[in-house]
Amino acid sequence: MGAGVIARLTQAGHTVLVSGHNAEKAAATAEEASAGQQGSAKAVDENVALEAGIVVLALWYPATVDFATENADKLAGKIVIDIAIPLDSTYTRLTTPPDTSAAEELSKAIPQSFVVKAMNTIPAGTLKVGEIGGIDVDAFVASDSQEATDTVIELLNGSGLRALDAGKLDNARLLERLTAFGIELGQRHGVGFDFGWKFLPAGDLFTEGD
Ligand SMILES: NC(=O)c1ccc[n+]([C@@H]2O[C@H](COP(=O)([O-])OP(=O)(O)OC[C@H]3O[C@@H](n4cnc5c(N)ncnc54)[C@H](OP(=O)(O)O)[C@@H]3O)[C@@H](O)[C@H]2O)c1
């Protein structure tokens, strides 16, 4: 997923600082995923990456919560994008109870940050390519801060994905379940793990100024 996030954000022209506990792997991923894109990516120390204005945690839940708790001071006041799906061992069900989500648990751990759920409904293979058969897939963006939601939608502008305001952070319960449901459908219909979700309304989407 880290590679996919780098690919999409550098397609949008951004500079991405990449950090992982394997520096060599982080450097190779940064170089490979950003090749030929408008923006750039480079591997940096974790402390340098945490200086970025927006931080994407490409970690599994609950490692997201552990990492964020350890770095709560550095993440304070910032947008923290959560892409996690708390899958159980079947990959089609979740470990979190229905009255919460990985994103809400993350938000509880770092209340001084603006946690935004985004891109979690896009499987890694699809995220790396950024589309399916020429169709841009949706990146649902949910948070309790409208400003943070708008900033992430703007961040994804030009990424190849269609970013869509998906309401409050508790909609992460649905968004996390949606990925597990997609995996189940993929298995049930023998179409593998690469899929995308798209909201297809009968009318035009409401946009600011309409
Ligand atoms: N795979 C998908 O299709 C998909 C789709 C949607 C959402 N997601 C979500 O995206 C997240 C990442 O999934 P993934 O498939 O990309 O997993 P992954 O391939 O296992 O990548 C996770 C990365 O996190 C690194 N890591 C683990 N703990 C770390 C720590 N404490 N500090 C720094 N780096 C750490 C790992 O490094 P090492 O390998 O060196 O341990 C690894 O590079 C998960 O929350 C998953 O639920 C995945």
149-174 pLDDT, tens digit per residue, is: 999 999 999 999 999 999 999 999 99
Residue 139 CA to residue 127 CA, distance in Å, equals 10
- Residues 6 or more apart from 1 whose CB is under 8 A from it? 58, 83, 119, 124, 127
pLDDT tens column, 92-150: 999 999 999 999 999 999 999 999 999 999 999 999 999 999 999 999 999 999 999 99
- Distance from residue 1's CA to the centre of ligand 1 (Å): 7
- Give the model's pLDDT for residue 207: 66
- Residues 6 or more apart from 206 whose CB is under 8 A from it? none
The first and second tokens of residue 193, run together, are 């793990």
As a whole number, mean pLDDT of residues 64-74 equals 98
Residue nearest (by alpha carbon) to ligand 1 atom 23: 59
Residues near ligand 1 (Cβ within 6 A): 1-2, 20-22, 25, 58-61, 63, 67, 83-85, 120, 123-124, 179
Atom of ligand 1 nearest to the CA of 123: 3
Strands 79-82 and 54-57: parallel
The whole-angstrom distance between residue 43's C-alpha and the CA centroid of its chain comes to 19
- Distance from residue 127's CA to the centre of ligand 1 (Å): 14
The DSSP H or E segment spanning 157 is none
pLDDT tens column, 19-65: 999 999 999 999 999 999 999 999 999 999 999 999 999 999 999 99
Q: What is the sign, positive or negative, of the torsion defined by CA atoms of 167, 172, 173, 174?
A: positive
- Distance from residue 61's CA to the centre of ligand 1 (Å): 9
- Give the model's pLDDT for residue 208: 55
Count the alpha carbons within 13 Å of 60 in the hemisphere toward its beta carbon. 6
